[in-house]
A and B are shown apart, each in its own frame.
Chain A
């Protein structure tokens, strides 16, 4: 069966510090991978998606970047965090077009 791992579950970081969130998927190959953010009391915003290694599409210009160094690994990064980067970050995967997506349990990031 397929599983998605996302860590850490919670993170408190000072403004200006770097960020690295990692997501890995097991039990499948060549998945589509996604990063979403959910600000407090708000809906889910698609940040990045990837259809393959090294292929990243950005949905919203921002202070974040994403990378996919391996087939089942997706990383969300920032060089310098802003207060506005606080939120609930979710990684998801799907088999491809027309298929449902499966989400990780999320990382709650608080920038102080």
Chain B
């Protein structure tokens, strides 16, 4: 699976949009981009994933660049409860065993 690079940490203001970047310059054509988050002392929570097109759900939007070498997770109106570590993961869709390998993630602190 391709490696990803994320900022170690970032702050954002409550009520504002939070834009979380992720670089995956070695991504291949059959690899998806997944985002998870982990609130302190809880299990990771799936947020969204995509292959080529931008995706949106009730939690967030995922913007993938045309060359697919980077992506941005957008939390449209950050709340204090969005404070968590956010993980960007790239992996093939058909990998045997469906392995999901987590990197260091971005520690997001939403401030009032």
Contact = CB atoms under 8 A, between A and B. Distances in A.
A44 B87 CA distance: 10
Nearest to A9: B41
Contacts of B41: 88, 106, 108
B44 A97 contact: no
A104 B41 CA distance: 11
Nearest to B102: A44
B45 interface: yes
A21 interface: no
Given A90-B44, A104-B43, A97 B93 contact: yes
Contact of B34 (A44, A100, A104): A100
Interface residues of B, number: 25
Contact of A98 (B45, B87, B98, B105): B98
Contact of B45 (A50, A51, A96, A103): A103
B82 to A, nearest CB: 18
A81 interface: no
B51 to A, nearest CB: 9
A94 interface: yes
Interface of B: 32, 34, 38, 41-46, 49, 87, 92-105
Interface of A: 32, 34, 36, 43-46, 49-51, 57, 59, 88, 90, 92, 94, 96-106, 108
Q: What are the 6 A-B residue pairs with the smallest beta carbon separation, nearest first?
A: A98-B93, A103-B43, A44-B102, A100-B46, A97-B94, A32-B98
